[in-house]
C-alpha cells in the first residue's frame, strides 16, 4: 500500500511546491491506517524518540517526541484529518509525561492540511525556510567587523548563543535546560574544532553578534533528503545579536558575510529554521530571501493532542 501512496504523495508535493524533495519511505514505527469515505486508504508511521539528557537537541525539543510520518498520497486535508483522528487514542494509552510532544513535519504550502492540524490542537511552532537566490544584498555596516571566530572567542559565543536560546524559549520551541550553557559550549567547541564556519561581529572591539552554519549534502539516505532536494546546501544553524544591539543592522551584516560562504558555487541554496511566533525573525529571514518550505506542527505536551 505504501508504494502507490508514496508516488502519489511525491506527485502532490511537486504540484504544490517546486522546491520540495520527493516523498521518501517513512522510518519504521507503529502503522496507522484509515479508510476514507470514497473507500481509499491512507497510512501513517508513528515513531517515538527519547532524547538523551544533555544532548544538544534537548535545547529545542521535548525529551520525548511522538512523530507522525503521514502517507496520505494526494488525499490532502481529508486524508490528514482521518489519520490525526486516530492519534489521540494512542497517546492516551501511552500516557507520556509533561516533557513530550506530538510532531508532524508537513509542506507549508499544503494548506488543505492546515485546518486539520489546527483542529487537533497543533501549533506551527517552527518553519524550515529556504532560499535559492545566491545574489547577496549589500547592507553591511562599516563600523561592524565580521571575522571567523576562534577558540579564544568561546566565552563570547556561548553568551550570544544563550541569548538566542533565551529569546527563542519565549517565542518558540527552545527550552533553557539546566546545563544549557555547557551544552552550547561543548557544541560550539566541536564546530570550531572541525572547521565549521562560525562568524563573530564586533563593534569597537566588543562582540555583538554571531552566526553559525555549515554545508550539508542532501543525497539518498541522508537526513537532509527528507527536507530539501538532492544537492549541496548551506545550513544556518544559529544567528544571534546581543539584546542591546538588535535592530541596528548587525544581523544583516553578519548574514552578508555568511551567505558568501554558505551560498558559494555549487550550493543549491540555503535553509534554516525559525519560529513563526518570534516577532523579529520571520520578517528578518523574509528580507534575507527565505520563505517557508516545511512547517513543524507541534502539540506540547503530547497529551494536549485532541
Ligand atoms: C533576529 C536577529 C538575529 C536579527 O538581527 P538584528 O541585528 O537585530 O537585525 P537587523 O538590525 O539587521 O534587522 C534587519 C531586520 O530585522 C527586523 N528586526 C530584527 N530585530 C529587530 C528589532 N529588535 N527591532 C526592529 N527590527 C528588527 C527588521 O525587520 C529589520 O529590518 P529593517 O531594519 O529594514 O526594519 C536579532 O534580532 C536577534 O538576535 N533576535 C533574538 C534571537 C533570534 O530571534 N535569533 C534568530 C533565531 S532564527
Taken in order of first residue, the domains within the chain and their CATH numbers are 2-125+298-304 (3.40.630), 144-288 (3.40.630.30)
Report pLDDT for 135: 78
Residues whose CB falls within 8 Å of the CB of residue 39, separated by 6 or more in sequence, listed in order: none
Cell 544584498 belongs to which residue?
Answer: 137
The CA distance from 106 to 116, in Å, is 12
Report pLDDT for 134: 82
Report pLDDT for 140: 76
Report pLDDT for 6: 95
Pocket test for ligand 1, best of 59, 284, 289 (most atoms within 8 A of CB): 284
Report pLDDT for 265: 82
Report pLDDT for 209: 98
Query: What lines the ligand 1 site, CB under 6 Å?
Result: 164, 167-168, 239-241, 246-252, 274, 278, 280-281, 283-284, 287
Report pLDDT for 223: 95
Nearest-5° Cα angle at 270, 25 to 286:
110
CA of 85 to the centre of ligand 1 (A): 39
Block means of pLDDT (10 residues each) for the chain, 306 residues, are 89 97 95 94 97 97 98 94 97 97 98 96 98 78 94 98 98 97 98 97 97 97 97 97 96 96 94 98 96 98 98
Amino acid at each position: 500500500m505504501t508504494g502507490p501512496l508514496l508516488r502519489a504523495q511525491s506527485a502532490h508535493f511537486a504540484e504544490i511546491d517546486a522546491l520540495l524533495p520527493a516523498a521518501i519511505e517513512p522510518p519504521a514505527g507503529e502503522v496507522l491506517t484509515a479508510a476514507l469515505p470514497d473507500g481509499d486508504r491512507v497510512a501513517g508511521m508513528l515513531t517515538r524518540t527519547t532524547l538523551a539528557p544533555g544532548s544538544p537537541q534537548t535545547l529545542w525539543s521535548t525529551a520525548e517526541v511522538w512523530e507522525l510520518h503521514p502517507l496520505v498520497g494526494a488525499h490532502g486535508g481529508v486524508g490528514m484529518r482521518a489519520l490525526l483522528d486516530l492519534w489521540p487514542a494512542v497517546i492516551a494509552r501511552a500516557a507520556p509525561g509533561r516533557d513530550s510532544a506530538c510532531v508532524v513535519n508537513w509542506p507549508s504550502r499544503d494548506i488543505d492540511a492546515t485546518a486539520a492540524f489546527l483542529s487537533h490542537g497543533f501549533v506551527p511552532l517552527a518553519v524550515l525556510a529556504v532560499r535559492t537566490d545566491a545574489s547577496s544584498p549589500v547592507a553591511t555596516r562599516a563600523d561592524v567587523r565580521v571575522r571567523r571566530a576562534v577558540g579564544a572567542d568561546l566565552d563570547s559565543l556561548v553568551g550570544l548563543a544563550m541569548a538566542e536560546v533565551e529569546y527563542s524559549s519565549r517565542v518558540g520551541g527552545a527550552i533553557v535546560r539546566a546545563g544549557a550553557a555547557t551544552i552550547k559550549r561543548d557544541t560550539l567547541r566541536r564546530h570550531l574544532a572541525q572547521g565549521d564556519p562560525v562568524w563573530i561581529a564586533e563593534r569597537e572591539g566588543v562582540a555583538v553578534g554571531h552566526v553559525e552554519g555549515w554545508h550539508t549534502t542532501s543525497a539518498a539516505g541522508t537526513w537532509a533528503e527528507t527536507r530539501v532536494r538532492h544537492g549541496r546546501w548551506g545550513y544556518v544553524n544559529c544567528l544571534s545579536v546581543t539584546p542591546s544591539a538588535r535592530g541596528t543592522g548587525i544581523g544583516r551584516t553578519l548574514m552578508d558575510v555568511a551567505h558568501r560562504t554558505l551560498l558559494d558555487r555549487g550550493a543549491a541554496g540555503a535553509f534554516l529554521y525559525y519560529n513563526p511566533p518570534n516577532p523579529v525573525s520571520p520578517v528578518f529571514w523574509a528580507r534575507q530571501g527565505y520563505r517557508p518550505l516545511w512547517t513543524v506542527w507541534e502539540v506540547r505536551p503530547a497529551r494536549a493532542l485532541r
